């Protein structure tokens, strides 16, 4: 993982400042880490022992890059003995640890660690390590580990955290699961502060375990003051990505250095927490927020070993939240693009016309549904409903291309709907990325003797629904052919119907009727039954009530609707 720009500047500054300070030792390697655990200077002997160049070491997280278990496995931070003095800001030593060399082999080392200043008021640690020639027993687990949780329990919790948090692509669900995993097992209070896209801070969660249930204190949630650049207070440091910290009410007894410190003091007073861990929630490239776990009703203060565990949990939460935010951002982009592409409906004298677009309820299910309506050359109106196969940004992009091509073909010259769909099918097969889609293209015409005629062709789409004024309904299943983009060359057919006076014609996508729990025929049945009951409702009310009463609750697809009513 590349260091952020700020860390790169720090590494370069430290490299300019420290070379004469890091004396070469004959048998030991030395390196400096900053308060985030990133390597900011390394000696030549350390490079030789590790089989890595300075460019491969500087700016990298020392734990992620070097620390391994006895079999070469990645080492959870909660099991890393070097993390304990780093978090506590003290000295420490280890008799036998394993570092991974550049060629993937393991280097058995003993090490010493001591805190030091790295300039500009920032603290870090100096690490001295050397190759261990004789095997000695591996050290026991971190001293001070809570007696209530064995090492096996901690590893099981971390495994469950990874599995559970990565199962969702929604920020709110990820936060809910994070609270469930930590409260009341580790603490009776859980607080999550998230950095927003506009560089602000929002207190997204304040949850308390009380009488067997988790209660969310919404009065303590909401926008937070900005993060000061140089504040040494624990929450400010965590939101800047600095290492986790043990805190208590005494941390905030002095004069606050910022408004966010004032907010923290109010939090401790309101919750009664006597001990807490505050850890940064880091995503792949940036800090996402901070996790605070606190104890008010539970006895006993958090230990450094507990802090290591909380730090590991926060790290896993950061990766899950980063993914959830990415999917939600993708959804917003696709949804915005779809809404901008959906047209203003044309005015057709005597005809009421309306449309609806409802996005998918889940960020991972952005679709390519669209509707369209436009005047045809020589008179009449084109009516279009379509759905590109897939649920992602590519589906939305494919929808834009197909929608524009269909408009161009239909508006060039007056042709039958089946002919236009056939030409569109051939064009889809020539796209750089072939896209499959279902489409209904219909032509609405007003004859000289006052009748309203609809001629249509259907490429694999759910059939339009005719709703007469007396409540009779009919699915228009004629004119059906294969969807676009299959490579087949079917003989597409047109169908035609005269619309009874006062009737409504509804075009819709499959998100209105499809369900994992029921068959498609049941979905069509619900649609027809509900439409019959609403036949005399105004057109806008008809569409809204159909969406409310027909769309399945387990539906995770978007829905587009186009409806018209003739005089």
Write the pLDDT tens digit of every residue in 311-355: 999 999 999 998 888 877 777 776 676 666 678 899 999 999 999
Cα angle 69-72-77, degrees, rounded to a multiple of 5: 40
The per-residue pLDDT for 223 is: 95
The per-residue pLDDT for 500 is: 97
Is residue 206 within 8 A of residue 217, CB to CB? The reply is yes
* CA 98 to chain centroid: 35
> What's the pLDDT band for 367 if we cut at 50, 70, 90?
low
- 3-class state of residue 472 by DSSP: coil
User: Who contacts 113 (Cβ-Cβ below 8 Å, separation ≥6)?
Assistant: 82, 85, 86, 91, 92, 93, 125, 126, 127, 128
CATH number of the domain at 5-131, out of 3.30.450.20, 3.90.45.10, 3.40.50.150, 3.40.50.300? 3.30.450.20
Residue 492 confidence (pLDDT) above 60: yes
What's the mean pLDDT when you consider all of the chain? 86
Residue 11 confidence (pLDDT) above 60: no
> For 234-280, how does the pLDDT look when each residue is reduced to its tens digit (9 = 90+)?
999 999 998 889 999 999 888 889 999 999 999 999 999 999 999 99
Is residue 127 within 8 A of residue 111, CB to CB? The reply is yes
Is residue 15 within 8 A of residue 41, CB to CB? The reply is yes
Same fold, 5-131 and 151-332: yes
pTM above 0.85, yes or no: no
The per-residue pLDDT for 176 is: 92
DSSP state of 376: P
> What's the pLDDT band for 524 if we cut at 50, 70, 90?
very high
- What are the DSSP E strand ranges found in 460-511? 465-467, 473-475, 480-481, 495-498, 504-508
User: Who contacts 352 (Cβ-Cβ below 8 Å, separation ≥6)?
Assistant: 539, 564, 565
- 3-class state of residue 223 by DSSP: strand
Residue 200 confidence (pLDDT) above 50: yes
Cα angle 7-96-143, degrees, rounded to a multiple of 5: 80
Residue 429 confidence (pLDDT) above 80: yes
- From 48-62, 215-229, 389-403, 502-516, the region with the lowest mean pLDDT: 389-403
Cα angle 433-420-508, degrees, rounded to a multiple of 5: 80
**Burial (CB count within 10 angstroms: exposed 0-12, middle 13-18, buried 19+), residue 549:** middle
Residue 452 confidence (pLDDT) above 80: yes
State phi, psi for 5 to the nearest 5 degrees: -55, -40
Rounded to whole angstroms, the Cα distance separating 335 from 338 reads 5
> What's the pLDDT band for 166 if we cut at 50, 70, 90?
confident
Rounded to whole angstroms, the Cα distance separating 46 from 36 reads 20
CATH of segment(s) 342-565: 3.60.40.10
Q: Does domain 151-332 fall into CATH 3.30.450.40?
A: yes
Least Cα distance to 142 among 364, 307, 387, 381 occurs for 307
Rounded to whole angstroms, the Cα distance separating 564 from 353 reads 4
pLDDT-above-90 percentage for the chain? 54
- From 286-300, 456-470, 491-505, 552-566, the region with the lowest mean pLDDT: 552-566
Cα angle 126-127-129, degrees, rounded to a multiple of 5: 155
- What tokens were used for 336? 């915005």
Is residue 505 within 8 A of residue 499, CB to CB? The reply is yes
Rounded to whole angstroms, the Cα distance separating 148 from 151 reads 10
Give the dihedral sign, CA 246/252/255/260: positive
The per-residue pLDDT for 483 is: 94
- From 18-22, 221-225, 377-381, the region with the lowest mean pLDDT: 18-22
Domain coordinates in residue numbering, the chain: 5-131, 151-332, 342-565
The larger pLDDT score, comparing residue 15 to residue 96, is at: 96
Rounded to whole angstroms, the Cα distance separating 290 from 277 reads 10
> For 68-91, how does the pLDDT look when each residue is reduced to its tens digit (9 = 90+)?
888 778 888 877 888 878 877 778
DSSP state of 59: T
DSSP state of 77: G
The mean per-residue pLDDT over the stretch 148-153 comes to 71
The per-residue pLDDT for 147 is: 42
The per-residue pLDDT for 158 is: 83
The mean per-residue pLDDT over the stretch 279-293 comes to 93
The per-residue pLDDT for 26 is: 75
Residue with tokens 């939600």: 328
Least Cα distance to 131 among 72, 51, 55 occurs for 51
Residue 490 confidence (pLDDT) above 90: no
């Amino acid at each position: 993982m590349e260091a952020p720009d700020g860390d790169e500047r720090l590494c370069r500054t430290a490299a300019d400042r420290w070379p004469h300070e890091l004396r070469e030792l004959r048998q030991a390697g030395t390196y400096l880490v900053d308060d985030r655990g990133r390597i900011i200077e390394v000696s030549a002997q350390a490079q030789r022992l590790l089989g890595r160049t300075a460019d491969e070491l500087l700016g990298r997280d020392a734990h992620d890059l070097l620390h391994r278990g006895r079999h070469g496995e990645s080492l959870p931070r909660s099991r890393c003995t070097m993390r304990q003095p780093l978090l506590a800001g003290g000295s420490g030593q280890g008799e036998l640890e394993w570092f991974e060399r550049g060629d993937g082999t393991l280097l058995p080392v003993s090490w010493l660690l001591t805190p030091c200043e790295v300039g500009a008021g920032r603290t870090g640690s100096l690490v001295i390590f050397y190759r261990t020639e004789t095997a000695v027993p591996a050290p026991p687990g971190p001293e001070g580990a809570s007696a209530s949780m064995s090492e096996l329990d901690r590893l099981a919790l971390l495994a469950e955290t990874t599995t559970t948090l990565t199962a969702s692509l929604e920020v709110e669900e990820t936060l809910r699961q994070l609270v469930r995993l930590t409260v009341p097992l580790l603490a009776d209070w859980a607080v999550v502060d998230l950095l927003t896209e506009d560089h602000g801070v929002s207190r997204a969660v304040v949850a308390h375990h009380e009488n067997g249930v988790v209660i969310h204190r919404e009065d303590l949630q909401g926008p937070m003051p900005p993060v000061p650049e140089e504040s040494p207070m624990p929450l400010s440091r965590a939101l800047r990505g600095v290492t986790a910290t043990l805190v208590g009410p005494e941390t905030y007894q002095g004069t606050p250095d910022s408004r966010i410190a004032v907010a923290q003091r109010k939090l401790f007073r309101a919750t009664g927490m006597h001990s807490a861990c505050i850890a940064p929630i880091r995503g792949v490239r940036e800090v996402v927020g901070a996790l605070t776990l606190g104890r008010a009703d539970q006895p006993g203060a958090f230990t450094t070993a507990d802090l290591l565990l909380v730090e590991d949990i926060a790290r896993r939460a950061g990766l899950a939240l980063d993914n959830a935010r990415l999917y939600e951002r993708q959804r917003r982009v696709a949804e915005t693009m779809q809404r901008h592409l959906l047209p203003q409906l044309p005015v057709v004298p005597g005809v009421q016309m309306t449309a609806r677009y409802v996005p998918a309820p889940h960020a991972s299910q952005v679709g390519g549904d669209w509707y369209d309506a436009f005047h045809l050359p020589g008179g009449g109106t084109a009516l279009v409903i379509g759905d590109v196969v897939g649920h992602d940004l590519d589906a939305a992009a494919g929808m834009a291309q197909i929608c524009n091509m269909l408009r161009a073909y239909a508006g060039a010259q007056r042709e039958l709907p089946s002919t236009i769909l056939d030409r569109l099918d051939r064009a889809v097969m020539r796209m750089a990325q072939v896209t499959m889609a279902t489409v209904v293209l219909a032509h609405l015409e007003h004859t000289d003797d006052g009748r309203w005629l609809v001629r249509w062709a259907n490429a694999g789409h759910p059939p339009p629904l005719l709703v007469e004024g007396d409540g009779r309904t009919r699915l228009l299943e004629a004119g059906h052919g294969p969807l676009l983009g299959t490579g087949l060359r079917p003989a597409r057919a047109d169908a035609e119907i005269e619309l009874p006076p006062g009737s409504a014609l509804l075009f819709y996508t499959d998100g209105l009727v499809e369900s994992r729990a029921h068959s498609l025929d049941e979905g069509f049945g619900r649609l027809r039954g509900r439409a019959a009951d609403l036949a005399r409702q105004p057109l806008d009310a008809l569409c809204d009530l159909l969406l409310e009463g027909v769309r399945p609750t387990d539906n995770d697809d978007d829905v587009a609707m186009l409806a018209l009513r003739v005089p």
